[in-house]
Each structure stands twice: as structure tokens, then as C-alpha cells.
Amino acid sequence: MKKNRIKIRRLLAEGLVLCAIAFNMVSCTNFLNIDEYIYDKSTLDSVFHRRDLLRQYIIGASNLLPNEGNLFTNSFAPYGLASDECFASWRGDGRHAGMFILLDELTRFDNYFNNWGAYYKGIRKANLVIERISECPDISDMERRDFIGQAYFLRGYFYYLLVQQYGPVPVLPDKAFEVSLDEESLSLERSTYDECIEYICKDLEKAAEYLPEMREAAFVYVPTKGAALSIMSRVRLYAASPWFNGNKFYADWFRSDGTHFINQQNDNHKWALAAIASKRVINLDHYSLHTIAKSETTLPLPSNISSANFPDGAGDIDPYLSYSGMFTGETPSINNTELIYGIRQRVGGDSPAWIAAPYMLGGGNGLNLTQDMIDAFRMADGRDIDNSSTEYPYPSTVEGRAERIGVGYSFSDYYEMRPDVPQMYNNREPRFYATIGFCHRFWPGTAYTGTDQTVTNVELTYYSNGNALPPSNFKNDYNRSGYTCVKYMHPEDNLKTTGTIREKVFPIMRYAEILLNYVEALNELEGSYNDEELGITVSRDKEEMKYYFNQIRYRAGQPGVTDDELQDPKVMRELIKKERRLEFICEARRYHDLRRWGEDAMDAYNKPIYGMNINARSTERLKYYQPIPITEDIARRKFSHKMYLYPIPQSVLNKNLKLVQNPGW
């Protein structure tokens, strides 16, 4: 893939500005697509007197946003590898530093994922735009509104990224600091968590006021009103969750004035704010879950799943393609009605597909999904594997699980079950096949270029004598659990450098999250709340919960929630948690969900990782398909309370003596 260069001249302390920027076509953290360059130094005064320079300055701020599509390799944060979903086959290089948290090998003196300075630099730039945009004479009112909206979005989003990683952080004055101020004046204490949340939401509210509701479909990387409200939905949901809402663990964590950093009184009204924020996105009526119409190869639905047309059932859709098409590139982003805000994925070492794909297909052969994650997927009729039905049984014995399905079959045009697939992977829900690479899974492929003969159309096996082996020069690059992630792979992808890759967009925010945010918030509500200004009333409305929750279920080819399940908030809470786990697998959301829910993180992390017995040969199927604990050092876990928040780097603390470290670090 051709990569355009980004040329940047540093912002000098005297007030010189960023003035040599080119748009990076593979990054797309930039908001605007430009080819022109600015080569001459320019003062801030001139920036705010010329439309083109102002535009470039906003792009300079957006360039400080991270590439959130880098989930595992060269990631901006540890979220992809520091959850219970997966682990990498290596930890020795900084490219996979997300491994260090659960290995308890991270300290405050390490500089991994040190985003503090970049995010605050972005905040300063946004402050300057908001403060001085009125000085620019040659922009239209429409452009001025858009630029202001982008600046508010940027400022709120940078704070959101900080709080997501570090917890409460200092909130700067809206007027940008003068660079001539002394160190004491530039040092600020951390605000409380709730103060940070309110500031972020205030900025996102202003962004929603100024930004257009929609843009041309090609500009999904540029924030809209929907993007601003969607991030607010996520922020409000996190703030209402147990770990940040009345959590007594932080009872002795104070600001210098005696104020708790984390409030000590549970406030149920925060769930109402989260529900209202989500409903505002729904009420925009711009987004819907991505679906693909069923075809002759779509598998028949189990008898207990509604055959009505979507969204009242799954009768007219192909659940497998409806889910997988969003991630593989089969559906272009311009046609994906579910995508609210995204970023183009990069090819090679930064691609989530690279680390997951086997070496023989040009990948890194190094992403291992856990047996717990595999077992969480339900059967085709929605039953758990430990409570399966006679129609879609999950084998109760090792012999039954290892038995071949015997007769291969295809579905959804893009997926083929080969006869050697074991019964334990048969008759699972469609999201399982859209996500999980397992032993004897068929990897279709159509693309290769020139003399670089990339292997395609291969049935991959993880036995000790299988074909998913490491290269001779990297003996440790092999799969440890017998599972990988195929979520971001398209049959036409060729990961060799001379090959081709489908254009893909990583969904930073998609409509499915809004629906699950809404249902979760409603489920936790006690009483009714009315926002007169917005005209929205929320309560634990079971019909409302059923309608939106079932859309997620039906799109996945699963049965809807029952009235009995809806009746009990505790039962629904667990169903919602499981649905989020499956719907957002390997999208870096699980890291945050486990922590915000509280003790769920302790339960998930403080137990051994299981996988298939990859030391068994292909002639030892019974031995291979017996899950065993993975005892290698890279698979050990040690989760403690300090790991709920990422440590502030010591280098940052040294520059601001008013900062206090996160508890435990």
C-alpha cells in the first residue's frame, strides 16, 4: 500500500507553529484529506488570519490522536493484549508491551504507552483554535462552525483518552497557557473523576452543537454530531459503572483539599444520563445495525429464532456476513450504516490481521485466544455449551468433542466447514465462525502477486506436526492455545508485502455499542428520569430493552431475550455482559468493561489460561482436544487492584509536583 509521508516542523516555544503537514492516507486520524504542504515558518498570529493555515493547524492537532486500529502490535495502549481474550506469543519487544501488565512487569518508570504529553499538546492546540478562531476573516460561517466543532471534539476526545487510561487527570484552564509561565504556574493538581467526566461531556455537547449531523460517507474519520454524542454515551456509561460510582476501594484517595478522587456515594442518576446519551444517538435516526440479505447458501435458522424480517427477527438476513462484513472489508465503510466513527487499518506490523494470521499466510503467527473466550460462544440455538440441546448438542466427552463432523458443508458463500473439523466447533453461533481460527479451520484465499507464492485456500492445523508452524529463524513464533482471530481477515487478503489487502476501517464507535449501552443503562435504572429540554424520558422499560437488545441477538442469528429474563435485573445484567463480550471480541472494549464492572476483572484474570494441547500430534486427536492450562511464562497472570488504572509515568510526575500517582503504583 502506498503511504504518503507526514512532514512536521516542531511547534517552537517562542510561538512558532506546526507548518509542514501532509495527510497520511493510512493513518486517517487526521480529519481532512489534503495533499498540499506549507513549507514556510509561520507565527500563530498568521495561522489565525488565514483559512488554509488554520485548517492545517487543526489537522496538526488531529495528528496527535492515536491509531486505535493498532490493537496488538505497535498499539497506542495496552487494551488489546491486557484483557482475558488473548495474549501474544512474545513480550520481549516494545511492540507488544500490552503483555507487561498482566505479567506484572510494568512499573511507573517504564515509558510504554506514555501518551500524556501528546494528548495535552492536542488539548492546547484545541484551546487555541476555540479561543482565536474568530480572528480568521476568510472562512464562511459554515466552515467556522465545523472548525469550532472539530476543536471541541478534539479537546473532549483527548481528555476522554486520558481518563480512559489514567483515571482522573488535571483539567487545564480553557485559555491556553502562555509558554513564558514558570513551572509552578504550569503545575496543576488532578481533578476528580466526576469533574473530568463533566468537562468531557460539556465539550462533546458543544461539538454536537456545531458539527454536522452527517458527512459524505467517505469521511467516516471526521467527527460528526453522531460521533460526539456516541463518545458521550460511552463516557457516561463508564461513569455510572460500579468501579467509578460509589467505589469504597478509593475511600482513602483524596485531593489536597480532601475531596475524593472517586465519589463515594452511588448515584443511580448517572445511569439515566448514560441512557439519555445513548437514546440521543438512536433518535438521530442515521444509524442501523449492518445487515446482509440472506442468500441460497445462508444456513436455515434454528426453530427457536424468530423468522420475521430484521429487526424483528433474522428471517431475511445472513447473520454470518452481517457481522463479518464490517471487519473484513467485504462491506465498504461508505455502505456500513453501523459505522459512526472509525479509522483506516494499516497493513503489516500495525494490522490486527498480521499478528493473528499464520506465518504461511504472511502473518506473525502470534495471537492466542483463550479457551474461556472460545467457550463463551453459544450454540446455534443460543444455548450455552454446558446446557446444549439435543438438536444442537455440545459433546460432553473428550471423545465426542474430538470426533470429526465427517461431512463438510458451506454457508454464506465465504465459509466452509471441512470434514476433519471436530464436533466441539460444530453448530456454534455465526459470530464464532466470523471470529475464531481453530484447528482444521479452512482459510480461503484468492490473492497472490508475482513470484511470491503466498499459500492460499489452506486448512490450518495447530498440532505439533501441523502446518501452522513458526519460521525457522523465529522458533518461538507459534500459536500457544490452538486459537487465533480471523475477524479482520478477508479471503482476498495477501499479507505478503507484494500482495493486496482489502481496504478496511476499524470501528472506533459503532451502533451496536450504542444499543448495548442503552440497554445496560436502562437495566440499572431505579425510577424514571425526564430530560425536559431534550424531550427524553428513561426508565427500566422492559419493552424498550427487549427491542434494542434483540436487534443485537437477531443480527447474530440468535434467539431474542425472554420476558422472564427481562424481569430480573441481575439476570439481564449477566446477559448484557456476555453479549458485550461476544459482540466486541478483539475490539479493545473488553479491557474497559471488566474494569468498570469492578470485581469482574479480578474473577476473569486471576485464574489459569487454558487452551488446546498443541504438543499433541495429528494422530492424537483425543489428547489435542483436551483443554489444558498453558504453563508458559507468557501465559501467567497476576492481577491486583492497582491494575484498574494505568500508572502515570514517573517522568510526568517529575515535571508536575502537584500530581499524585494512581493507587498501588
CB atoms within 10 A of CB 267: 14
Strands (DSSP E) found in 511-604: 529-531, 536-538
Fill in the DSSP letter of residue 629.
E
**Element holding 506 (H helix, E strand):** strand 505-510
**How far is the C-alpha of 125 from the C-alpha of 60, rounded, in Å?**
8
Inform me whether the pLDDT recorded for 11 exceeds 50. Answer: no
Condensed to tens digits (0 to 9), the pLDDT of residues 629-645 reads 999 999 999 999 999 99
Query: Which residues have CB under 8 Å from 472's CB, separation 6+?
Result: none
Q: Which one has a higher pLDDT value, 408 or 590? A: 590
Lowest mean pLDDT among 89-93, 208-212, 384-388, 595-599: 89-93
Q: How confident is the model at residue 16 (pLDDT cuts 50, 70, 90)?
A: very low
Which cell is 370 given?
A: 483463550
Contact 282/544 with Cβ under 8 angstroms?
A: no
**How far is the C-alpha of 69 from the C-alpha of 27, rounded, in Å?**
9
Distances from the Cα of 583 to the Cα of 15, 226, 249, 446, 586, angstroms: 47, 21, 30, 28, 9
pLDDT computed for residue 255 by the predictor = 96
Going by their DSSP bridges, the two strands 483-485 and 505-510 should be labelled as unpaired
Inform me whether the pLDDT recorded for 208 exceeds 80. Answer: yes
Inform me whether the pLDDT recorded for 229 exceeds 50. Answer: yes
Contact 19/41 with Cβ under 8 angstroms?
A: yes
Among 424, 364, 415, CA closest to 624: 424
The mean pLDDT value for 577-596 works out to: 98
pLDDT computed for residue 462 by the predictor = 97
CB atoms within 10 A of CB 458: 16
Among 491, 493, 490, 538, CA closest to 518: 538
Inform me whether the pLDDT recorded for 6 exceeds 60. Answer: no
**How far is the C-alpha of 244 from the C-alpha of 645, rounded, in Å?**
11
Q: Which one has a higher pLDDT value, 449 or 379? A: 379
Cell 480568521, located at residue: 136
Contact 232/275 with Cβ under 8 angstroms?
A: no
The mean pLDDT value for 593-617 works out to: 97
Mutual angle of helices 116-132 and 51-62, in 10-degree steps: 150
The mean pLDDT value for 560-583 works out to: 98
Q: How confident is the model at residue 451 (pLDDT cuts 50, 70, 90)?
A: low
**How far is the C-alpha of 285 from the C-alpha of 290, rounded, in Å?**
14
Q: How confident is the model at residue 347 (pLDDT cuts 50, 70, 90)?
A: low
Q: Which one has a higher pLDDT value, 358 or 42? A: 358
Q: How confident is the model at residue 411 (pLDDT cuts 50, 70, 90)?
A: confident
Query: Which residues have CB under 8 Å from 287's CB, separation 6+?
Result: 226, 281, 337, 338, 340, 511, 514
Condensed to tens digits (0 to 9), the pLDDT of residues 96-127 reads 999 999 999 999 999 999 999 999 999 999 99
Q: Which one has a higher pLDDT value, 68 or 177? A: 68
Cell 445513548, located at residue: 278
Condensed to tens digits (0 to 9), the pLDDT of residues 272-285 reads 999 999 999 999 99
Of all residues in the chain, the percent with pLDDT exceeding 70 is: 89
Mutual angle of helices 542-555 and 511-524, in 10-degree steps: 150
Condensed to tens digits (0 to 9), the pLDDT of residues 368-378 reads 999 999 999 99
Phi, psi of 458 (to 5 degrees): -125, 140
- β-pair partners for 428: 379
Inform me whether the pLDDT recorded for 39 exceeds 80. Answer: no
Which cell is 475 given?
A: 522458533
The mean pLDDT value for 221-243 works out to: 97
Condensed to tens digits (0 to 9), the pLDDT of residues 618-631 reads 999 999 999 999 99
Among 619, 620, 621, 610, CA closest to 402: 621
- β-pair partners for 458: 443
Contact 511/338 with Cβ under 8 angstroms?
A: yes
**How far is the C-alpha of 161 from the C-alpha of 456, rounded, in Å?**
39
The mean pLDDT value for 171-185 works out to: 70
pLDDT computed for residue 28 by the predictor = 36
Q: How confident is the model at residue 587 (pLDDT cuts 50, 70, 90)?
A: very high
Inform me whether the pLDDT recorded for 169 exceeds 70. Answer: yes
Inform me whether the pLDDT recorded for 186 exceeds 90. Answer: no
**How far is the C-alpha of 210 from the C-alpha of 130, rounded, in Å?**
12
Of all residues in the chain, the percent with pLDDT exceeding 90 is: 78
Tabulate helix, strand, coil % of the chain (nearest 5): 40, 10, 55
Inform me whether the pLDDT recorded for 185 exceeds 80. Answer: no
Task: Supply the pTM of this predicted model.
Answer: 0.92
Condensed to tens digits (0 to 9), the pLDDT of residues 461-515 reads 999 999 999 988 888 899 999 999 999 998 888 776 555 678 899 999 999 999 9
Fill in the DSSP letter of residue 76.
S
- In three-state secondary structure terms, 484 is strand
**How far is the C-alpha of 147 from the C-alpha of 135, rounded, in Å?**
13
pLDDT computed for residue 456 by the predictor = 72
Average pLDDT, the chain: 89
Contact 496/454 with Cβ under 8 angstroms?
A: yes
